[in-house]
């Protein structure tokens, strides 16, 4: 297995300070990334805090405190953006796109996912770039329940629930489940038996089994080919992201390789 508004009650939120009627909600981690992006941009432009102080009509210590605290007004943010040759929207977008991405969950988080099958469903849908509307139209899940689960995923760092119930994934391209973790154990217990229950007789189903006697070198080459096939599936998945959901189908590819002989044969082995 690889790889959605209620008010954000559970997520710590701070605000870019400006006029009360125009507050812009920004998560604490987003503020940190925004300040990091500003500092990186200043460094790339060869600009010092003294240069910023002169441009913003502030003292140099005030600039240091401003960037250390993260308490930026919209006016200050606009001034910094202009100083860097960007619009404020471009600066915010750059900060968002450069944020570190999650590569793997903690074991406790995976255990939380498998403890609630609806939560696991929402997580898998989100990781496959489904929208909130897609989930609601395909499954018997209420909007409130779906949002509740998306907020759980937000606290895990898997996804961010944006205005208008848009789901923004926060995972790296190579995100994967823990080896022998709760998700993979869940798949072995429930997913694999269900997957293999098919006779694989439909025109678009395939089940092949092959056995051979290989040297260690040949075995290693076969492992490389299997990794390539898995990467190909991931590439085709990415190519299909922009297609409407109605044109896509959940597709599972099972790859398994091990040194093995049937149990009946092993029982006849000489000790």
What does the domain layout of the chain look like in residue ranges? 13-97, 101-197, 198-266
Region 57-77 average pLDDT: 87
The pLDDT tens digits of the residues spanning 180-209 come to 999 999 999 999 999 999 999 999 999 999
Contact by Cβ (8 Å): 127, 171:
yes
Query: What pLDDT is attached to residue 101?
Result: 72
Nearest residue to 45 (alpha-carbon basis) of 13, 82, 96: 82
Token code pair at residue 132:
């909130």
Region 1-20 average pLDDT: 30
Alpha-carbon gap, residue 16 to 39, rounded angstroms: 18
164: pLDDT strictly greater than 50: yes
Instruction: For the domain covering 13-97, report its CATH number.
Output: 1.10.260.40
Nearest residue to 26 (alpha-carbon basis) of 10, 17, 18, 14: 14
**Residue 194's CB: how many other CB atoms inside 10 A?**
9
Region 64-78 average pLDDT: 86
Query: What pLDDT is attached to residue 149?
Result: 97
13: pLDDT strictly greater than 70: no
Query: What pLDDT is attached to residue 256?
Result: 93
Question: At residue 162, what are phi and psi to the nearest 5 degrees?
Answer: -95, 165
Task: Name the average pLDDT for the chain.
Answer: 85
Q: Which CATH architecture has domain 101-197?
A: Orthogonal Bundle (1.10)
Does pTM surpass 0.75? Answer: no
The pLDDT tens digits of the residues spanning 202-237 come to 999 999 999 999 999 999 999 999 999 999 998 999
Query: What pLDDT is attached to residue 18?
Result: 32
Token code pair at residue 260:
């093995």
């Amino acid at each position: 297995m690889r790889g959605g508004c209620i008010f954000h009650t559970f997520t710590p939120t701070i605000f870019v300070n400006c006029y009360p009627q125009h507050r812009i909600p920004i998560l604490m981690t987003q503020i940190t990334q925004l300040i990091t992006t500003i500092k990186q941009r200043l460094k790339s432009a060869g600009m010092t805090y003294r240069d910023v102080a002169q441009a913003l009509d502030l003292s140099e210590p005030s600039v240091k405190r401003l960037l250390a605290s993260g308490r930026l007004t919209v006016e200050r943010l606009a001034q910094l953006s202009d100083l860097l040759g960007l619009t404020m929207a471009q600066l915010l977008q750059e900060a968002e796109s450069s944020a570190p991405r999650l590569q793997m969950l903690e074991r406790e988080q995976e255990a939380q996912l498998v403890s609630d099958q609806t939560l696991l469903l929402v997580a898998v849908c989100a990781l496959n770039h489904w929208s909130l509307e897609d989930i609601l139209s395909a499954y018997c899940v209420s909007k409130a329940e779906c949002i509740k689960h998306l907020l759980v995923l937000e606290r895990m760092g898997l996804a961010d629930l944006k205005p208008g119930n848009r789901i923004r994934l926060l995972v790296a391209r190579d995100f994967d489940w823990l080896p022998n973790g709760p998700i993979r154990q869940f798949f072995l217990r429930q997913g694999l038996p269900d997957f293999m229950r098919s006779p694989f007789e439909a025109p678009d189903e395939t089940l092949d089994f092959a056995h051979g006697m290989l040297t260690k070198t040949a075995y290693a080459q076969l492992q490389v080919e299997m990794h390539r096939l898995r990467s190909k599936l991931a590439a085709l998945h990415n190519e299909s992201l922009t297609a409407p959901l109605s044109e896509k189908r959940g597709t599972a590819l099972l790859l398994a390789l091990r040194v093995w002989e049937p149990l009946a044969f092993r029982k006849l082995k000489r000790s």
